[in-house]
Structure 1
Amino acid sequence: MVFSFFGGVVRGRAPPPVPTVVFLRLLAGLGIAEAATRATLARMTRKGLLERIQVGRAAHYRLSPGAEAIVRKADERVSAPAPFEHPDGQWTLLSCSMPESRRDLRHQLRAALSLAGFGRLRDGLWIAPGAVDVGAVFADADLAEAAGLAEWFAAVPLPGVGVEDFIRRAWPVGEIRERHERFIEA
């Protein structure tokens, strides 16, 4: 919701940093408790997605340069006339096995791949429609170590493969549709 706010209202306008109270009021209107909003702002700041600026006694927030890039890419996808179209049958497969000792890196990888449109087919095997610049995905997310543990390929399903089946396995299509409809209603 915070990214949606920045993407839809703030991005591209270069306003001053946004006061905490704006987020509290905005998200309260969507049924989100004040404590949850404050925790989200703090977590996003710790993760380097937001920059916190103290103005007197009040905290204000703006997107970090890295988060600005994420919002810009999302805006391009949302604004595209056909954001999810790709050549029929063209897919990107990514295989990446992460050591158990690197759970932190595994979490960052999952987040970056999800943002890039990948769905998980099986443990360590991800798929995305079309030809994805996987190197750029890793670079944008500062995941050089994960890139060293991964291989990616252009792929075309062979005859007899149930494309609809693996799409529903990789992405929770029904749940996504339901969440989207609830978001639009809110």
Structure 2
Amino acid sequence: MRPRSLMFTLYGDYIQYYGEEIWIGSLIRLMGEFGISEQSVRGATMRMVNQDLLKVRRIGNKSYYSLTDKGKRNIEDGVRRVYSIKNHKWDRLWRVLTYSIPEEKRELRTQIRKELTWLGFGLISNSTWISPNPLEEKVMDMVREYHLEPYVFFFQTDSIVSHENEDIITRGWDLEKIENEYKQFIQYCEARYEEIKQAIYSGTLSNRECFKERTILVHEYRKFLFKDPGFPLDLLPQKWSGIKARELFWKIHQLVSNGAVQFFEECYQPAPDNEVLPNREGAINPFLGINVHV
């Protein structure tokens, strides 16, 4: 696991429910469970501070890290997409974004590509991205955040004259590759589900192991947010493996959540002036309070 990616998982799955702030010592202990050194944790936190994703405050000789507004937006969007149920029908509209960003702003161009990929857009031709999902608000937030108004055009269309919808999908996304990766995830989860279930029933699965299982599960499932565009059901292939993968994710998550949260609480140390009551129910079951897309 890369430190920054793991840190996003920890903030989204645990820390946000405990006052949104954590002592660096607790973070070092938690991330050490996955073989990440203290030096790597400290380096990752400072880079995230420099990128305006984290902010730090010091009390005595201790440092406490919390998310900035920018960091919170990233976390909230990721959590919502991991835990929400997507079974909406297509409104028959394509969202199309084109841009022409000067070469001297190529770093900005690279960042916009990452943002569009994260949102589930597919690249159908040079600098032309498309999605069937209602992402107008998120795209316009991105345009305003990066001051892209001079460089982009963003519009809707209910008809693409030159190509059938199937052609557009084939051009923009490799659904066969995503399907195969879901099958690998399912194969792993099916085996782990039976093993974990037996270990829990026999009382041999520790809280520490529950924490590692849940964190790895969420960490691995989050990767599909960069691959699966989250199509409406109308556009998905029959027997789409993403549906079964989500069901298995939920099953394992619920098995290990109670023990995982208990281990987190053993490691977590709040700031002495943090009077926010932890939302333990939310930490155990992040599915609560998540909007369901119908």
TM-score, normalised with respect to structure 1: 0.76
Q: Which has the higher contact order (CA 8 A, sep 6+)?
A: 2
Higher helix fraction (1 or 2): 2
For residues 152 and 179 of structure 1, the distance between their equivalents in structure 2, rounded to whole angstroms, comes to 35
Query: Counterparts in 2 of 1:27-176, with a 5 A limit?
Result: 27-82=31-86, 85-87=88-90, 90-133=93-136, 134-139=139-144, 142-144=145-147, 146-155=148-157, 156=159, 158-159=163-164, 161=167, 163-168=169-174, 173=178
TM-score, normalised with respect to structure 2: 0.51
Cα deviation, residue 92, structure 1: 1.8
Flag structure 1 segments of 5+ consecutive residues without an equivalent. Answer: none
Question: Could you tell me the percent identity over the aligned residues?
Answer: 21
For residues 36 and 156 of structure 2, the distance between their equivalents in structure 1, rounded to whole angstroms, comes to 41
Paired residue for 2:203?
Answer: none
SS in 2 for 1:108: helix
The alpha-carbon distance between structure 1 residues 23 and 81, as it changes in their structure 2 partners (threshold 3 A), is same
For residues 120 and 24 of structure 1, the distance between their equivalents in structure 2, rounded to whole angstroms, comes to 39
Paired letter, 2:11: F
Q: What do the CA deviations read for 1:78-127 (whole angstroms, capped 9, x no partner)? A: 232217x5517643221112111112322332343233333434442223
Equivalent residues, number: 180
Paired letter, 1:77: R
SS in 1 for 2:14: helix
SS in 1 for 2:97: strand
Instruction: Tell whether the 8 Å contact from 1:86 to 1:129 is kept in structure 2 after alignment.
Output: no
SS in 2 for 1:51: strand
Q: Which has the larger radius of gyration?
A: 2
Cα deviation, residue 164, structure 1: 3.7
SS in 2 for 1:94: strand
Q: What do the CA deviations read for 1:11-63 (whole angstroms, capped 9, x no partner)? A: 25425x31112222222222333333222211111010100112222322000
Query: Counterparts in 2 of 1:16-31, with a 5 A limit?
Result: 17-31=21-35
The alpha-carbon distance between structure 1 residues 124 and 161, as it changes in their structure 2 partners (threshold 3 A), is same
Cα deviation, residue 77, structure 1: 2.3
For residues 137 and 174 of structure 1, the distance between their equivalents in structure 2, rounded to whole angstroms, comes to 29
SS in 2 for 1:161: helix
Cα deviation, residue 175, structure 1: 8.9
Instruction: Tell whether the 8 Å contact from 2:53 to 2:70 is kept in structure 1 after alignment.
Output: yes
Instruction: Tell whether the 8 Å contact from 2:124 to 2:171 is kept in structure 1 after alignment.
Output: no
Higher strand fraction (1 or 2): 1
Instruction: Tell whether the 8 Å contact from 1:7 to 1:71 is kept in structure 2 after alignment.
Output: yes
The alpha-carbon distance between structure 1 residues 163 and 21, as it changes in their structure 2 partners (threshold 3 A), is same
Instruction: Tell whether the 8 Å contact from 1:113 to 1:137 is kept in structure 2 after alignment.
Output: no
Flag structure 2 segments of 5+ consecutive residues without an equivalent. Answer: 1-5, 190-215, 220-294
